[in-house]
Amino acid sequence: MRIATWNVNSITARLPRLLAWLESSGTDALCVQETKCTGEQFPREQLRELGYESAVNADGRWNGVALISRVGLEDVTSGLPGDPGYDGKTEPRAIAATCGPVRLWSVYVPNGREVGHDHYAYKLRWLEALRSAVVEDAAGERPFAVLGDYNVAPTDEDVYDRSLFEGSTHVTEPERAALAALRDTGLSDIVPRPLKYEHPYTYWDYRQLCFPKNRGMRIDLVYGNAPLAGAVKDAYVDREERKGKGASDHAPVVVDLDI
C-alpha cells in the first residue's frame, strides 16, 4: 500500500499536476493540505474518474484539508476534536478517515506567524489538541498515521541554515516540544530516506531560487504508530514534483507499506 501527503498550495491551481501524479505514482491514499477552495469547489468528479473517493474539510480560505483514497474511505472525522479555534473561528485544518487497512489523519498545523503572536499561541494549543485526539489510535493495533504540513522542523538538521531562523517560528523549543509530546503518544517520525540530496527537505520558498539552491525545510511529516512503522518498506520525498512550471512550493512525501 502506498500513502502520501502533499501540501498542494491550491488544489485548483495544481489539479492537472495532481491528477497526473496520482496516475503515475500509484498512490492509494493521499492526504492533501492547503486546498484553498470550498467543499463544493473540490474536484471530486475528476478524482472519481481516476477511481478515487474524497473527504474534504474546507471553507474556501487559505486552509483546507482532504483525504483522497482508492482503497475505501470510511468513518470520516471532519475537524479536530477539541480544536481551540482562532479569533473566534474554527479553521478547517484536520480530517481523518479509515482507508482500507489504515487509519489516517490529514493535518495542516497553523503557521504561528511570529513568536509572541496570538497565532503562535494558537499553534501550540492546536498541537496539544491534536495530541489528545490521537492518543487512542496511536496506542492501538491498527496501522495509524498523522500526515501533513506540520509547519515545524523537528531538528536543526531539518532546515538549510539554522542561524537564519533565529527567533522565528518553525524551529522554537515550544514547537518542537509539542511535536515530541505528539510522538510520545506512540508515534514515530517516518523519516524519508534522502535521494540525491543530503537532507530530504519537503518545502522550498518560491523566492530567491530556494529550490535550485536546495534552501529548504522538512516540515511535511508522517508520524506513524508501531504497527504502521513496522510495515514501512520505503519512504521518500518526490522532489521531481517540485520542479517545473505550476509546481507547489511543497513536494509530496511518500510511504510504501507492506500491508
Helical H segments across 55-106, by residue range: none
For residue range 12-63, what is the model confidence (pLDDT) as tens digits? 999 999 999 999 999 999 999 999 999 999 999 999 999 999 999 999 888 9
Q: Is 108 a catalytic residue?
A: yes
Which residue has better confidence, 124 or 60? 124
Q: Which of 52, 122, 170, 250 is catalytic?
A: 250
CA distance 28 to 33: 17
Which residue range forms the structural domain that includes residue 72?
2-257
Domain CATH for 162: 3.60.10.10
Q: Is 149 among the residues known to form the active site? A: yes
Q: What is the pLDDT of residues 65-76, one digit of tens each?
A: 999 999 999 999
Number of domains present in the structure of the chain: 1
Instruction: Quickly state the pLDDT bin for 192 (edges 50, 70, 90).
Output: low
Does 256 carry a binding-site annotation? no
In angstroms, rounded to a whole number, what is the distance separating the alpha carbons of residues 58 and 252?
20
| 111 marked as part of a ligand binding site | no
Residue with cell 523537528: 154
Which one from 28, 149, 220, 238 is the annotated catalytic residue? 149
CA dihedral over 170, 173, 175, 181, signed as positive or negative: positive
Q: 220 with 232: CB under 8 angstroms?
A: no
Kindly state the greatest CA–CA separation across the chain.
47
Distance CA 258, CA 120 (A): 38
> Is 118 assigned to a binding site?
no
Q: Is the dihedral of CA 134, 28, 36, 221 positive or negative?
A: positive
Q: Average pLDDT for residues 82-86, to the nearest whole number?
A: 96
Q: Is the pLDDT of residue 217 over 60?
A: yes
Phi and psi of 174, rounded to 5°?
-60, -40
Q: Is 28 annotated as a binding residue?
A: no
With beta carbons less than 8 A apart as the criterion, state whether 28 and 1 touch: yes
User: Using CA atoms, how far apart are residues 152 and 58, in angstroms rounded to an integer?
Assistant: 22
Q: What is the mean pLDDT of residues 109-135?
A: 97
Q: Is 250 a catalytic residue?
A: yes
Whether residue 193 has pLDDT greater than 60: no
Bridge partners, residue 108, by sequence: 149
